[in-house]
Amino acid sequence: MPSLEGKVLFITGASRGIGKAIALRAARDGAKIVIAAKTAEPHPKLPGTIFTAAQEIEAAGGKALPLMVDIRSEEQIAQAVAKTVETFGGIDICVNNASAISLTGTLETPMKRFDLMHSINMRGTFATSQACLPHLLLAKNPHILNLSPPLNMSPKWFQNHVAYTMAKYGMSMCVLGMAAEFKEQGVAVNALWPRTTIATAAINMVGGEEMMRQSRKPEIIADAAHSILTSDSRTCTGNFFIDEDVLRAHGVTDFEQYAMEKGVEPLPDYFLD
């Protein structure tokens, strides 16, 4: 089985949800993981901190470096990248997972919320990739993986939440551009998106317990990400992967194992026809 043993992963938003699931899957291989996230103190509504995530990563067999990072700040990103290289000697993989969501129409989206989504989703992804790239260019089999959707210009994905769609598609445009820009240097840049809703704090905020019940566990994304991140960076780049398709290509047929509730049909996610 391909392994991430010894690889250094810089993961934004890894204190909970999908980011933490990707970290834990890599930890089982013996990877070194940087948890670059904002939550250092327990949040009243959101589970986990960078320190509790670090404990889980270490318990799973990995090495963890919890760093409090607001990816809206390029200075904090630069400091975190420098600390990563000082601690682990380099960076092999950058996972841009941190994201902000507001499924609101144009008149219902305050500019403060617009700026938050664009600062974290698009700008944060660009800034984190930019800071990691000098080290990725020195790595063997380097990867950037953005948790963002395929680019789909159908108006239906814009009309109800244009600000959010633009922010997420900004992450996807980073994939489109950077994959071509760094192809010759051998840095893979790919996107990964779920076929169905995933049981995270964001989904709980959008649809509550009922939507959580009809979602899949974050582990499906983690398993798909593992397959992508262990692939050859020179041949596997510029793709907009869907979690279920990745796993089917690797022989997985039982998707019930990822269901939050057995026998419940999972809800389709946004941006997929």
- pLDDT, residue 266, reads 95
Sign of the dihedral defined by the CA atoms of residues 102, 13, 127, 146, in that order: negative
pLDDT at site 46 = 77
- Asked, for residue 273, whether it belongs to a domain, the answer is no
Supply the pLDDT for residue 43. 78
Q: In angstroms, rounded to a whole number, what is the distance separating the alpha carbons of residues 164 and 199?
A: 19
Check: CB of residue 194 under 8 Å from CB of residue 219.
no
Residue 210: which domain range?
Answer: 8-258
Distances from the Cα of 158 to the Cα of 43, 103, 166, 220, angstroms: 31, 10, 8, 27
User: How far apart (Å, rounded) are the C-alpha atoms in residues 48 and 66?
Assistant: 12
Residue 243 lies in a domain: yes
Annotation says 258 is catalytic: no
Cβ-count burial 33-52 (b if 16+ within 10 Å, e if not): bbbbbbbeeeeeebebbbbb
Integer Cα distance of 47 and 58 in angstroms: 18
Task: Report yes or no on 252 lying in a domain.
Answer: yes
Please report whether residue 53 resides in a domain: yes
CATH number, domain of 71, equals 3.40.50.720
Q: Is 81 among the domain residues?
A: yes
Q: Judge whether 266 lies within some domain.
A: no
Tens of each residue's pLDDT in the chain, 273 residues: 899 999 999 999 999 999 999 999 999 999 999 999 998 888 777 778 999 999 999 999 999 999 999 999 999 999 999 999 999 999 999 999 999 999 999 999 999 999 999 999 999 999 999 999 999 999 999 999 999 999 999 999 999 999 999 999 999 999 999 999 999 999 999 999 999 999 998 888 888 889 999 999 999 999 999 999 999 999 999 999 999 999 999 999 999 999 999 999 999 999 998
110 part of a folded domain: yes
Residue 19 · residue 4 · CB < 8 Å: no
Asked if 174 and 122 touch (Cβ cutoff 8 Å), the reply is: yes
SS3 annotation, 237-270:
CCCEEEHHHHHHHCCCCCCHHHECCCCCCCCECC
Catalytic residue among 164, 169, 258, 270: 164
Look at the chain and report how many structural domains it folds into.
1
| 272 within domain boundaries | no
